[in-house]
Homo-oligomer: A and B are copies of this chain.
Amino acid sequence: MSKQNIPRTELSELGEFGLIDQLTKNIKLKNKSTIKGVGDDTAVIEKNRNKYTLVTTDLLIEGVHFDLTYYPLKHLGYKAAIVNFSDIIAMNGKPEQIIIGISVSNRFSVEAIEEIYSGIYLACEKYNVDVVGGDTTSSVSGLFIAITVIGEVDKKDIIFRSTAKKGDLLCVTGDLGAAYMGLLLLEREKQVFKVDPKMQPDLTGNDYILEQQLKPEIRIDIIEKLKEHNIKPTSMIDISDGLASEIKHLCKDSNLGCNLYEDKIPIDITTASVAEEFKIDPTTAALNGGEDYELLFTINQNDYEKIKDMEGISIIGHMTDKSEGENLITRSGTSVQLKAQGWEAFKK
């Protein structure tokens, strides 16, 4: 919540081409599939004939997806990349190229934009992704980030949302609801700060949920572990809009129903305790919080023995016939219809 003491170069001093040069001068391409990066009309990519190309775009809009009073620009850049990598991972693929579209008002300095880029570059460095293009332009007000990520997957390895089978086990990675609790915490401290700017934010002990909100990671570790153990999920999706919403996607696209067990939903102790502070049911946070960027997938029951003790994976239910509906089996054993109040942009 403090302003960093960095020099300020106006965007008008550099101009569009100057800015692009400045932002892209240190790019080193790493992937064999990247033939040509920044500097021509398009990026040029080459795919082996055994591969599918995966492409995804996500928009991050100031005032809707992030609030710069508590969102450090570098983290924002990092997250903007990660949320797209997560979509590639959810197809069982590997992100390889990124195209960065940024629109900013002159409220932002060159240094501020460099901060955003440094976050994107950090994520690319970590996950071995090449920056191959972009568009940088001014806006009348606000910051808009449009990221496109291109990935690849061996044809035999691709996993869709629509291929779960009746009887399959429903699994989730990590724990859920943390990013949402992190957001509520930051929002609360923002309000406190508004009333008394001298007040220092009280975020002690909540590193985990703050990190889940501000610097999420993708579960490429789980993808690798599943491959090592020769387990291919029968369907997969990433959890960006909340567990309930994503389970409903899997059910709808696979034409199935499901039973989800409340007591099996993985929730971190910090998430649970902050939820209690906010008088929110932790299950609700896990079901509808969103922004977890964990993986939701189904496996054949024959893989149960292989997966049951695997760290970082929880079995939370199973797929049923469509006629049985989508059900949440509560801690008390009651079956209730699963409802998604997931993050829906226009209903906020």
Q: For chain A, which range describes its interface: under 10, 10 to 19, 20 to 34, or 35 or more residues?
A: 35 or more
The reply to whether B238 and A57 form a contact with Cβ atoms under 8 Å apart is no
B contact residues around A56 at 8 Å (CB): 41-43, 99, 133
Known: A43-B56, A141-B142, A142-B140. A344 touches B61 (CB 8 A): no
- A253 and B39 form a contact (CB under 8 A): yes
CA distance A16 to B106 in the complex (A): 30
- Complex Cα gap A97–B236 (Å): 23
* C-alpha spacing A135/B132, complex, angstroms: 21
Q: Tell me whether B49 and A49 are in contact (CB under 8 A).
A: yes
Q: So how many copies of this chain end up in the complex?
A: 2
Q: What are the interface flags for A45-61 relative to B under an 8 Å C-beta threshold, 1 for contact and 0 otherwise? A: 11111001111111101
| Contact call A87/B135, Cβ cutoff below 8 A | no
CB within 8 A of A42: which of B40, B55, B97, B253? B55
Checking B88, B91, B99 against A148 with a beta-carbon cut-off of 8 angstroms, the contacting residue is: B99
Q: How far is the CB of A51 from chain B (nearest CB, A)?
A: 8
Which one of B87, B140, B346 contacts A61 once the chains associate, using CB atoms below 8 Å?
B140
Pick from B11, B43, B106, B345: contact of A54, CB below 8 A: B43
Given contacts A42-B151, A101-B146, contact A138 B346 (CB under 8 A): yes
Choice from B43, B139, B158, B347 contacting A55 with Cβ under 8 Å: B43
Instruction: Determine if A194 is an interface residue (Cβ-Cβ < 8 Å).
Output: no
Q: Which residues of B contact A14 (CB under 8 A)?
A: 346
The 8 Å CB contact of A64, one of B53, B59, B139, B158, is: B139
Residue numbers in B under 8 Å from A17 (CB-CB) = 344
Question: Are B42 and A101 in contact, CB atoms less than 8 angstroms apart?
Answer: no
Let me know if B140 and A63 touch, CB within 8 A.
yes
Given A41-B90, A42-B91, A237-B41, is A101 in contact with B137 using a C-beta cutoff of 8 Å?
no
Contact A55 B101 (CB under 8 A): no
Say whether A144 contacts B103, CB under 8 Å.
Answer: yes
| Residue from B46, B150, B347 in contact with A52 in the complex, judged by beta carbons closer than 8 Å | B46
CB of A35 within 8 Å of the partner chain: yes
Q: Which residues of B contact A91 (CB under 8 A)?
A: 40-42, 44
Is the CB–CB distance between A42 and B63 below 8 Å? no
Whose C-beta in chain B lies nearest to the C-beta of A48? Answer: B49
On whether the beta carbons of A146 and B41 are closer than 8 Å, the reply is: no
Q: Are A16 and B135 in contact (CB under 8 A)?
A: no
**CB neighbours of A65 from chain B (8 A):** 137
A182 at the interface (CB under 8 A from B): no
Report yes or no: B55 in contact with A99, Cβ–Cβ below 8 A: yes
Complex interface bits, A126-164 against B, C-beta within 8 A gives 1, otherwise 0: 000000111111111110101010110001001011100
| In the complex, A282 has a CB within 8 A of chain B | no
A55 with B132: CB separation less than 8 A: yes
The answer to whether A44 touches B53 (Cβ under 8 A) is: yes
Contact of A29 with B by CB under 8 A: no
By beta carbon, the residue of chain B nearest A54 is B42
Interface of A toward B, CB cutoff 8 Å:
11-12, 14-17, 19, 35-36, 39-49, 52-59, 61-65, 87-88, 90-91, 93, 97, 99, 101, 103, 106, 132-142, 144, 146, 148, 150-151, 155, 158, 160-162, 236-238, 253, 344-348
Offer 25 A-B interface pairs, CB within 8 angstroms, sorted by A.
A12-B346, A40-B160, A41-B87, A41-B90, A41-B238, A42-B88, A43-B54, A43-B56, A44-B53, A45-B55, A49-B49, A55-B148, A56-B99, A59-B103, A59-B137, A62-B140, A63-B139, A64-B139, A99-B148, A106-B346, A136-B345, A138-B348, A139-B144, A140-B142, A144-B146
